[in-house]
Structure 1
Amino acid sequence: MTVNQTLKDVTARITERSRATREAYLERIGEAASRKPVRTMLGCANLAHGFAACNAPDKASLAGDEQLNIGIITAYNDMLSAHQPFETFPQLIKQAAREAGGVAQVAGGVPAMCDGVTQGFAGMELSLFSRDVIAMATAVGLSHDMFDAAVYLGVCDKIVPGLVIGALTFGHLPAIFIPAGPMTSGLPNDEKARIRQLYAEGKVSRAQLLESESRSYHGPGTCTFYGTANSNQMLMEIMGLHIPGSSFINPNTPLRDAMTREATKRALQITACGNAYTPVGAMLDERSFVNAIVGLNATGGSTNHTIHLIAMAAAAGIKLTWHDIAEISAIVPLLARVYPNGLADVNHFHAAGGMGYLIRELLTAGLLHENVRTVWGEGLHDYAIEPYLGENGTVIRKPAPQVSGDPKILAAAEAPFQADGGIKLLTGNIGKAIIKISAVKPERHIIEAPAKIFHDQAELQDAFKAGLLEGDFIAVVRYQGPKANGMPELHKLMTVLGILQDRGQKVALVTDGRLSGASGKVPSAIHVTPEALDHGIIAKIQEGDLIRLDATKGILHLLVSDEELQNRIVPMPDLSRNHYGTGRELFSAFRQIAGHADQGASVF
């Protein structure tokens, strides 16, 4: 198999750009790895504290130098459907570890918030920053230096990126991510979207809307649409952090439990005390992150990962850019149609061949680096499989199917849904932005229209209800960046803009906020940087200014002269209401030091 030349070139460029920081990182984790098993370096009192609450057999094991100890970092809570299944995982992991001659301890918990609950409300302004809190909480859990490997229990939007950043901070330890899986299919996503639109138009009641939503989100597991949570699972598998085939197995099934036991035993096999040592910081190299970008584009994944992947890579000393992501997107065909990029959900995707089929197609097309290290061994070919439950309760794997189980959901590489992944970099005098066009009709890829200015999504909704959104326009929703208010997702804009677009108006969105993958059919320039509060030109746009958004040529331009822009002084709105309540006052330091979106919007 020959790797695509553009993929080689981008990888080489990332490697060269990252050389100094990557070498320094590898040196640090190499030094940390030289102490093994690390708990033998602890004093007797320190060690006694570390196993005081264990049962007698585990205590005896940890008192010696031979038995291996797994640290469990868990995002369990029982409000989030995606994380509720993790309630039973620690006991399952501990038992599997004992069967393999090791020990497992819950090293710590990390917060896990749900963007679906906070969407459109003040809590969403904590969402992006929760990623970095999770990374820090992971470090606190592992700081006791009691562990030879770690397993990570997390699924949703900011949780997995935060866990990866934390894991890479302890990059000398092997790391395996253990998912909980998606909930079973409920109300079809297109029907859910239809009811939402009818409610926005006042044609159905709140009770009818709530019934529709409850039929969509109805049980344990991740939401079944292809947003950031399920994009996370795809990334963990294609980067080799999952054991093969584990991303989309439903919770509370024998196969799910078998995979959790298998992942635990594999974690014990890849410690520094064995012959297959796989420290996560060395395992995840530039090729691993390029593979992640390929997977993101091939599946039409969440645009949140244009921020998260950069932050995750930085934790390993690797410097990614939006240009890298866009250049890879241009050569990677779209092979999956999963809502909001299609009608299917992730259960249908898995049934059609899922990750195994996808990885096999991409490998065959030369669009992945095959010769990468994974938690399973050497080479990504191990992931081109379908998992099944064996008669004895173990996992068996068969080669991925040669033909898609449903060509409307999963396409072959030689006959893709579209020739590229749809994530593009926009540049111009407004700054840099990301746009995802995989669900936007070609005739809407270019729009030149006057600006309508809003300082939050509620203002736009109010204007819609008042009948003020007439004609063609580009909605500029600003002061939504990380420094202004934590960069919330702005999903409530999409229903309104979608309605107007369906009425025949040409509309688009320009914002320094986020949208996940939910922009759908509306052309949306998101993550605009510099943001409004950071002296970005987006702050100088006035009502009625013409803006040109051209997704074909990658242009985002304010059609106002440079001289006029230099002389413009636009008063800043009062943002104090975004700084207090629902815990936002505790994050003032984060807002002050947050980096640009194109640098991962990180506080580190």
Structure 2
Amino acid sequence: MHPRVVEVTERLIERSRATRQRYLEMLHAAASEGPQRGKLQCANFAHGVAACGGNDKQALRLMDAANVAIVSAYNDMLSAHQPYEHFPEQIKQTLRELGSVGQFAGGVPAMCDGVTQGEPGMELGIASREVIAMSTAVALSHNMFDAALYLGVCDKIVPGLLMGALRFGHLPALFVPAGPMTSGLSNKEKAEVRQRYAEGKASREELLEAEMAAYHGPGTCTFYGTANTNQLLMEVMGLHLPGSSFINPGTPLREALTREAARQVTRLTRQGGQFTPLGEIVDERCLVNSIVALHATGGSTNHTLHMPAIARAAGILLTWQDMADLSEVVPTLAHVYPNGKADINHFQAAGGMALLIRELLDAGLLHESVNTVAGPGLSRYTREPFLEDGRLVWREGPRESLDETILRPVARPFSAEGGLRLMQGNLGRGVMKVSAVAPEHQVVEAPALVFEDQLELVEAFKAGQLERDFVAVVRFQGPRSNGMPELHKMTPYLGVLQDRGFKVALVTDGRMSGASGKIPAAIHVCPEAFDGGLLARLQDGDPLRVDGRNGVLQVLLDEAELMARPLAEAPAAAVGCGRELFAFMRQSFSSAEKGASAFTASLEVLK
């Protein structure tokens, strides 16, 4: 093992010893009681099986049959989740063939950041993760189940499902992906049309045509944003079946993998003889593996929020410093848009997960001796699924990349380090995704231009006020202020200015996410402006240094001068589009570094 990986893992174990121990005690106490439905009062049990068919009712009266909860984020508006429409019936049919039962335990909401970008609904995004976690808990609260299958793909959905699932960590669990849509208009061409539209060189009709050619069918969007980062991390964490993350929807192989997920989760139950609860899979080594893979592929910055929140749900205290220290030694092996021109289907064709995991294992950058849903040992994930005469089999995956412009070996990385930088200085702490930023653009020292809404910046661009070097400061966008919406409306405009030769950067207590592009952006800055962070004292013209190479986030003024300034007044809480319903949750959100979670305080009671 690489010494840095060992070091970070050991200190994570030591830091989390008390909270992890209490979590495992909770898990083992729940697991020791056996199938909960066997202890229910007769009336309770009758309510739980009233709508089942006769055979399912009889099976559920017997404790040697497994009852598998299905928790799904299906809706037919969002492309990534539309394929889940038929998964429950496939799962139930497969379980019946085994003498077991599947019950649709509950649905969770799934909102799409792509639909809500720049709209009021985007302010519900992080809150939706907490709602999904709570919805998952409600779905499992009936204590009828021996295992669970979780159906979700996109940005906040998978983290929310996993956070909820971990509070029922005594149950075996398996996450079931739906797969990416087939490739359409390339992400590079789509981005070029967006930028031309921002400059007034393309019509709305051209823009709409390009967008609909890029997002054109069922499945996950094909760029390497938060949704596909979710899928990649779930596989590296051993929560997907090997090689299942990036198989397109509506294919025979996709259905075969869904049915096999149902079979495999029953094997992991007490009745199946290979009892492996979720809480014993997601441990410190598993989490370190996820961060290594995040860095090696230049994954979504949203996971600097999600992974600490997920870790805390398992009693583990993961920090940005842990993530940054791993980034220093993990080479970048993948270039998928926005880090490169390829999409996730191209990544899969070049060698995909099997090659990525093989390379990282061989380099000692991943823990091999972990539990997974496929059995002990991460080396099981160097295999790929295939159909042979209609039968699902796994074969060893490729040992060499089929396209080194997309996926490379450790011996020839795109970069010697990962794609994430911890940014620190008198402005606070934040993160920057440097994997998509050209080296010559990673350091910007320029005057601040302060905005309190991303649309203010867009209007300033349209008015011709941004033709200069500057650092855009967009504040009061943190979790406690307005729910921390993504700020992608600015991306094309800042990209245009950079292309025109200006030095531009972004500093914000908000987020940019997995599609963060070529602009150096220090995001998730905390303390956020709403909590009195120094962002709330900045003024137009203040000299700022944003140094993505060395992780420096600094206002170049005397501290006494800054502290003598009054704090900017936070904007009034927004109403409409349901935002007022989440005011109580925003008040409870932790800092971005602790996951921007409403649950942090309650989980830390376990200390």
TM-score by length of 2: 0.98
Q: Does 1:436 align with 2:440?
A: no
- Alignment partners' CA distance in 2, 1:7 and 1:66: 42
Maintained 8 Å contact 2:476/2:571? no
2:581 aligned partner: 586
CA distance in 1, matches of 2:426, 2:582: 31
Q: Which consecutive residues of structure 1, in runs of 5 or more, have no partner in the other structure?
A: none
Q: 2:294 aligns with which of 293, 296, 315?
A: 296
Q: Per-residue deviation at 1:301?
A: 0.4
Please list the CA deviations of residues 315-343 of structure 1 after superposition, one character each: whole Å capped at 9, or x if unmatched. 00000000000110110011111000101
Question: Is the 8 Å Cα contact of residues 255 and 389 (structure 1) preserved in structure 2?
Answer: yes
Q: C-alpha separation between the residues in 2 aligned to 1:595 and 1:361?
A: 36
Of the three residues 458, 465, 473, the one matched with 2:470 is 473
Distance (Å, rounded) in 1 between the aligned partners of 2:388 and 2:25: 42
CA offsets 1:228-277 (integer angstroms, 9 cap, x no match): 00000001000000011100000011000000010100000001234311
CA shift for structure 1 position 518: 2.4
Percent identity over the alignment is 61
Structure-to-structure mapping, 1:115-154, within 5 angstroms: 115-154=113-152
Q: Deviation string for 1:502-541 (max 9, x for gaps)?
A: 0000000000000012221110000000000011001111
Residue 492 of structure 1 deviates from its aligned partner by 1.1
Residue 571 of structure 1 corresponds to which residue in structure 2?
568
Q: Does 1:487 align with 2:479?
A: no
Match of 1:64 among 62, 86, 91: 62
State how far apart, in whole Å, the 2-side matches of 1:130 and 1:430 are: 29
Which runs of no fewer than 5 residues in structure 2 stay unpaired?
600-607
SS at match of 1:36: coil
Secondary structure of the corresponding residue to residue 374 of structure 1: coil
Where does residue 4 of structure 1 map in the other structure?
Answer: 2
The 2-side partners of 1:321 and 1:571 are apart by 29
406, 410, 416: which one pairs with 2:413? 416
Equivalent residue number for residue 594 of structure 2: 599
Report what 2:533 is aligned to: 536
Query: Does structure 1 residue 557 correspond to structure 2 residue 554?
Result: yes
Q: Deviations over 1:359-403 (max 9, x none)?
A: 000001111000000011110000011221121x23211111111
Task: Summarize deviations over 1:153-196 as a string: whole Å, max 9, x none.
Answer: 00000000000001100000011000000000000111100110
Between the aligned partners of 2:431 and 2:425, the Cα distance in structure 1 is 12
What is the CA–CA distance in structure 1 between the aligned matches of 2:365 and 2:378, rounded to whole Å?
12
Separation in 1 of the partners of 2:470 and 2:350?
40
2: CA distance, partners of 1:103 / 1:124: 38
Q: Cα offset for 1:573?
A: 4.2
What is the 5 A alignment of 1:46-445? 46-391=44-389, 393-445=390-442
How far apart are 1:60 and its partner, in Å? 1.0
The 8 Å contact of residues 133 and 163 in structure 2, kept in 1 or not, is answered as yes
| Residue identity matched to 2:265 | A
SS in 2 for 1:377: coil
1:447 and 2:439 correspond: no
What is the CA–CA distance in structure 2 between the aligned matches of 1:312 and 1:11, rounded to whole Å?
16
Contact 1:33 1:272 in 2 (8 A): no
Residues 484 and 575, structure 1, Cα contact 8 Å, conserved in 2: no
Tell me how far 1:5 sits from its aligned partner. 0.4
Cα distance in 2 for partners of 1:248, 1:575 equals 43
Of 31, 34, 38, which aligns to 2:32?
34
Counterpart CA distance in 1 for 2:257 and 2:578 is: 37
CA contact (8 A) 1:37 1:273 kept: no
Residue type of the alignment partner of 2:576: G
Residues 157 and 232 in structure 1, CA contact (< 8 A), matched pair in contact too: yes
Deviations 1:80-99 (A, max 9, x none): 00000000000000011011
- For residues 236 and 352 of structure 1, the distance between their equivalents in structure 2, rounded to whole angstroms, comes to 20
Structure 1 partner of 2:605: none
Note if 1:497 corresponds to 2:516: no
- Which secondary structure does the structure 1 equivalent of 2:56 belong to? helix
State the SS of the aligned residue for 1:378.
Answer: coil
Equivalent-residue separation in structure 1 for 2:483 and 2:448 (angstroms): 24
Q: CA separation in 2, counterparts of 1:480 and 1:224?
A: 27
Contact 2:297/2:419 (8 A) holds in 1: no
Secondary structure of 2:229's partner?
A: helix
For the residues of structure 1 that align with 2:18 and 2:63, how far apart are their CA atoms?
A: 36
Under a length normalisation based on structure 1, what TM-score does the superposition of the two structures give? 0.98
Residue 470 of structure 1 and its aligned partner are, at CA, apart by 2.1
Is the 1:21–1:317 contact (alpha carbons within 8 Å) kept by the matching residues of 2?
Answer: yes
The one-character-per-residue Cα deviations of 1:28-83 (angstroms, maximum 9, x if unpaired) are 01000011111101011100100100111101111222211000000000000000
Q: What do the CA deviations read for 1:469-514 (whole angstroms, capped 9, x no partner)?
A: 0211000000000011000000111101000000000000000000
After superposition, the C-alpha distances for 1:99-133 in whole angstroms (9 at most, x for unaligned) are 11210000000000000000010000000110010
Q: For 2:571 and 2:175, how far apart are their aligned partners in 1?
A: 42
RMSD across aligned positions (CA): 0.8
Instruction: Give the AA of the match of 2:595.
Output: G
8 Å Cα contact 2:537-2:563 kept in structure 1:
no
Match of 2:524 in 1: 527
